[in-house]
Amino acid sequence: MLKDLTPLLTKKFEEIRIDEYPDIKSTDRGGDEIVFIEPVHLFGRLYRIEDDVVFFSGTLEGSLKTACHRCLEPVEEEFCYDFDEVVYAPGKEDDYDLIAEPEGESIDLDEFVLNLFQLNLPAGFLCDEDCKGLCPVCGTNLNTSQCSCNDEIIDQRFAMLKDLFKEQ
């Protein structure tokens, strides 16, 4: 979805209000798919901070579904990110960190949203703060069942310790 900045750059308007639902269904992070359950909502305003530098202040909100970082069970979460970003600064790209490349005198709101979303992602989504994850040995989901891998590891360590004492 392209947003034309010409009305700002020609100073026809002081600002452009944005209230859009870009058509973005999913993205991914490190191979984990993130699906947007409902259309993401992007709203805020575009305005000039210098003659040809355009700023975008706004909010991105929505809800997503992905896999728990530890146990891989489905997780649903709402998100709401406030942002202040320079979106257009021809010839001044070194002064400003643009998160999406402008196309002529327009910005691509889809690309902007996807990059902004990635920048705001937490380290990992969890089904629960106390999620016990999967057993690294047998893959059992430790939230719902138990396995005896951990016991065996402890037994092995104990056996090694006993051997050490024997040697002395």
As measured in angstroms, the least distance from the Cβ of 153 to Zn ion is: 9
Contact 31, 137 (CB under 8 A): no
Pick the closer one to Zn ion by CB: 9 or 149: 149
Contacting Zn ion (CB under 5 A), which of 87, 99, 127, 134? 127
Burial of 74 (0-12, 13-18, 19+ CB in 10 A): exposed
**What does the angle CA 57 – CA 61 – CA 66 come to, to the nearest 5 degrees?**
135
Terminal-to-terminal C-alpha distance of the chain: 74
- Answer yes or no whether residue 109 interacts with Zn ion by CB under 5 A: no
Stretch of residues binding Zn ion (CB under 5 A), selected from 16-24, 34-42, 87-95, 125-133: 125-133
Contacting Zn ion (CB under 5 A), which of 68, 87, 99, 134? 68
Question: Binding mask 134-163 vs Zn ion (x if CB under 5 A, - otherwise)?
Answer: -x-xx-x------x-x--------------
Question: If we measure between CA atoms, which residue out of 48, 40, 43, 39 comes closest to residue 8?
Answer: 48
- Answer yes or no whether residue 131 interacts with Zn ion by CB under 5 A: yes
Pick the closer one to Zn ion by CB: 109 or 131: 131
DSSP conformational letter for 129: T
* Integer angstrom CA distances of residue 83 from 86, 113, 124, 136, 165: 10, 11, 21, 38, 61
Stretch of residues binding Zn ion (CB under 5 A), selected from 24-32, 60-68, 86-94, 115-123: 60-68
Q: How many CA atoms lie within 13 A of 58 on its CB side?
A: 25
Stretch of residues binding Zn ion (CB under 5 A), selected from 52-60, 115-123, 128-136, 155-163: 128-136
**Interface residues with Zn ion (CB under 5 A)?**
68, 70-71, 127, 131, 135, 137-138, 140, 147, 149
